[in-house]
Amino acid sequence: MAKDIVIWPEKVLNAPARPVTEFGEPLDALLKDMDEAVRAAEGVGIAANQIGVPLRVALVARGDGTFFEIINPQILEKSEKVTLREGCLSVPEEWEQVERYKRVKVRYQDRAQQWHEVEAEGQLAHIFQHEIDHLDGTVYVMHLSSLKRGLIRERMEKLKRLLKQRARNAEGSAAG
């Protein structure tokens, strides 16, 4: 079963993730867990801390059903800004306009430790920035007004109570 996605607010989403220094089997397993989780949630991107692992690893959808696997990414160049509608798997059912750079150049490592550079524009550039933000401990709601963020926080806390309740009920029935 796919790993649960951490719902904001939660400490692991608000702290910067650590750079990856060990490549190989544990990283491959993490990438597999992330791939399963993002596909199960029908997302266009996911950061490792969204499944509770504070490492600088993210997946970004290419739009053809495959994902960029970006490890230790950094933004090298930025262009002018543009506003697009954004959502987040850790903030379900919410969509807000967010200002980001229209084009970015990103440097990242793949699972074989090779460095790559990619230039992205529009929606793809937004996803790269959104995921790299996650790795820096920034959820997109931090770019919204405190009023909007406060309302979203209330809805997320309510949702988390509901999910906990459901999990308890499920445990109860499984135990008979």
Catalytic site positions: 131
Q: Does 141 bind Zn ion (CB under 5 A)?
A: no
Restricting to residues 1-30, name those near Zn ion by CB under 5 A. none
Q: Which is nearer to Zn ion, 71 or 134 (CB)?
A: 134
Considering only 13, 34, 71, 88, the residue that binds Zn ion (CB under 5 A) is 88
Place of tokens 């029908």: 42
* Helix boundaries (H) for 60-145: 122-135
Interatomic CA distance for residues 131 and 62, integer angstroms: 13
Tokens of 89: 């798997």
3-state secondary structure of 28: helix
Smallest gap, in angstroms, from Cβ of residue 89 to Zn ion?
Answer: 6
Q: Which is nearer to Zn ion, 20 or 58 (CB)?
A: 58
Smallest gap, in angstroms, from Cβ of residue 88 to Zn ion?
Answer: 3
Smallest gap, in angstroms, from Cβ of residue 1 to Zn ion?
Answer: 21
Binding mask 64-83 for Zn ion (x = CB under 5 A): --------------------
Q: Which is nearer to Zn ion, 20 or 48 (CB)?
A: 48
If we measure between CA atoms, which residue out of 57, 20, 7, 15 comes closest to residue 35? 57
Interatomic CA distance for residues 127 and 112, integer angstroms: 23
3-state secondary structure of 31: helix
Taking CB under 5 A as the binding criterion, the range among 10-18, 87-95, 96-104, 151-159 that sits at the site for Zn ion is 87-95
Tokens of 155: 């809805």
Interatomic CA distance for residues 100 and 26, integer angstroms: 33
Query: Which residue is at the shortest CB distance from Zn ion?
Result: 88
Q: Which is nearer to Zn ion, 27 or 48 (CB)?
A: 48
Interatomic CA distance for residues 95 and 14, integer angstroms: 19
Smallest gap, in angstroms, from Cβ of residue 138 to Zn ion?
Answer: 10
Query: Footprint of Zn ion on this chain (CB under 5 A)?
Result: 88
